[in-house]
Amino acid sequence: MVPENGEVHVLLVTLPAQGHINPMLMFAKVLVSNGVHVTLATVEVSRKRLLDGSSSITNNNTAAAKSKFYWEFFSDGLSDDFDRSKNFEEHFRLLFTSGPPSVSNLIKKLSDVRKFSCLIYNPFVPWVVDVAVEHNIPCALLWIQPSALYAIYYHFYNDLSSFPTLEKPDIPIELPGVPCLSMDDMPSFIHPSNPYPSYKELLLTMIKNLDKVKWVLGSSFYELEKEVVDAIAKLHPITPVGPLVPPIILGKEESVKGNADMWKADDSCLEWLDKKPPSSVIYISFGSSILLLPKQMENIASALKKINRPFLWVVKPSDNPSKDGNGELPKGFIEETKEQGLVVTWCSQARVLSHPSIACFVSHCGWNSLLDAVSSGVPVIALPQWTDQPANSKLLVYTFKTGINLQRDDNGIASKEEVERCITEITEGPKAEKLKKNATYWKEATRKSVANGGSSDKNLDLFIHDISGFSSKSI
């Protein structure tokens, strides 16, 4: 909590992708509820979509009722009609040139009314560090993937460990505190066959800029990744302040209200869940950007019909529909299963995973989704696709021990029979009771970590105390 005689204002900078902005907004809410003023800045093109869903962000915490939250937007140097999702490589490259002056100008514009004590950014906008240096503002990196991924990238880019190559694909990745990884478990941006060079360069910049960063904060929590947090502390520490998930998952009231969902949630699914027995519903969602191949969609659909358990499936329409049918349900599926399941285009995942009727979660294992599941005590069936997801699923199975992996063929497709097997195994098989017990353990551990005196609560207090010190020196 900010001292009564001090005023602290921080600037958070992120790209507007749902998986990037969610943890930044969750952290903003935590800071606001602790008496810190927050400005969250992202790319101008997302202004309308974000403000339509989030303009009502308010602070109802009486202990810190005077702290304020602001949205701000900066130019990425591109026109509104430029397709950023299809041309993300070019977008990232251009941001290295257009981003710094845009954010710098934003700080100058606000300097008369907001004096920033700290600038906080995530790994995908590493150039923000140079803006912080330019304005002599202390800087923090908010790491929005597991601490284990931070350790993997740190070792990779500093040549501290051996990693597989195309010539030597069988080299195991053995890092302190991290389960042994194979090439198939590697984050896709450092995979030998990585087709996205700009991402690799971006993460290299992020690692090389760490000497300009005063704090590396993590969206995880200490107990969940104790071994890797302790190990990386000897090289370049990360301080977990999470899990950065909606308060409802943690059994808390939401003192700072508002969201940054890019799509309108269908709340009818909550009423539908109310009518289902406890631990009966299969929840399926692959996040905001994953579009599965038609064969994979067909196999999941066929398996659901075969097992005849209730299901809730989030199938978000593509922002850029293609002729190949990726991400689309088989024709007739919704009508055929209307008595069994429910398909929605988007939902409040926090409220769904917190619902007692949910039995398990079929997920792509993006870190936000995985944290939601871990914090809710829900076992996970993993179908990772790219970026950090393959490594995340390894943590899920071997470190957290709250899930199982769908096995796939040489084309990367899990068969109908494999989907059936995993759903049966996680809900009623020999491992089901142990997986649920482990999931419940982590649910309780998350709540302890953010409670008064918990590990993340203490880390957050120390961080706020630090930036409050910088604030008082700058007045």
> How high is the pLDDT of residue 472?
46
> How high is the pLDDT of residue 274?
98
- Domains identified in the chain and CATH numbers: 9-257+447-474 (3.40.50.2000), 268-444 (3.40.50.2000)
> How high is the pLDDT of residue 260?
59
What is the mean pLDDT of each successive set of 10 residues along the chain, which is 475 residues long? 70 91 94 95 85 57 71 86 73 87 97 94 95 97 98 97 96 97 95 86 94 97 98 98 96 70 80 98 93 96 97 86 84 96 96 98 97 98 96 98 97 97 96 97 98 98 91 47
pLDDT digits (tens, 9 = 90+) for 13-25: 999 888 899 999 9
* Residue 20: active-site member: yes
Cα separation, 139 vs 93, whole angstroms: 22
pLDDT digits (tens, 9 = 90+) for 342-377: 999 999 999 999 999 999 999 999 999 999 999 999
pTM for the model: 0.93
Contact 321, 239 (CB under 8 A): no
Cα separation, 311 vs 227, whole angstroms: 36
> How high is the pLDDT of residue 66?
76
> How high is the pLDDT of residue 475?
39
Beta pairing class for 380-382 and 403-405: parallel
Task: Count other C-beta atoms under 10 Å from residue 184's C-beta.
Answer: 12
pLDDT digits (tens, 9 = 90+) for 287-337: 888 899 999 999 999 999 999 999 999 998 876 666 788 999 999 999 999
> How high is the pLDDT of residue 45?
83
Catalytic residue (one of 9, 20, 91, 155): 20
